[in-house]
A and B are shown apart, each in its own frame.
Chain A
């Protein structure tokens, strides 16, 4: 058990819809990262927050947004969903945004767009 909790585990929805993925980081971790895992793109970094502030952005689409709340949990919002958004979305957390700090991953949310 990594201590990182992601909900829901599975989401099935239709094109054009909007969904929210939730992540609770490990106790004591201030930094949260979101990654997307798909067959064609592999594991890609989306966005990072540290203590409530956006810290870094990767290949995140404009239709996607995220935030980190005062209690440090984070949400990833995906809107105007397309078939290509079907993927496994992981949240990871670390103590600080320091390369030497390992990231601990949740079990992921599997998003299926029909």
Chain B
């Protein structure tokens, strides 16, 4: 079935370090891909999305490129801040499945000053 696999956390980085969170997916068809972020005690917020192969989503310094050949959607940021500490979820969606989101297990990021 359709699924998303993320790198395990927690990930601990120093401020201004480079961030990569790996995400790969399995899907029948051509899904749209998303990164959501969950700050402590809050709901999920859409961080970025890509709806077709080779699309690059970007927002707040975060980027991810939809790679169909490697079925991946890795999240990157060049210089993290303490305020980026949160749990990050990679997800896919297929219209054929009603547009529901299928999430990875989440990766907790902790950024130290």
Contact = CB atoms under 8 A, between A and B. Distances in A.
Interface of A: 2, 4, 31, 33, 35, 42-45, 48, 50, 55-56, 58, 90, 92, 94, 96-108
Interface residues of B, number: 25
Contacts of B51: 99-100
User: Looking at A43, A90, A101, which has the most chain B CB atoms within 10 Å of its CB?
Assistant: A43
A43 B97 contact: no
Contact of B100 (A58, A90, A108): A58
Contacts, number: 67
A45 B100 contact: yes
Interface of B: 31-32, 34, 36, 42-46, 49, 51, 89, 93-95, 97-106
A108 B45 CA distance: 12
Given A55-B98, A97-B98, A90 B34 contact: no
User: Looking at B49, B100, B103, which has the most chain A CB atoms within 10 Å of its CB?
Assistant: B100
A98 B93 CA distance: 8
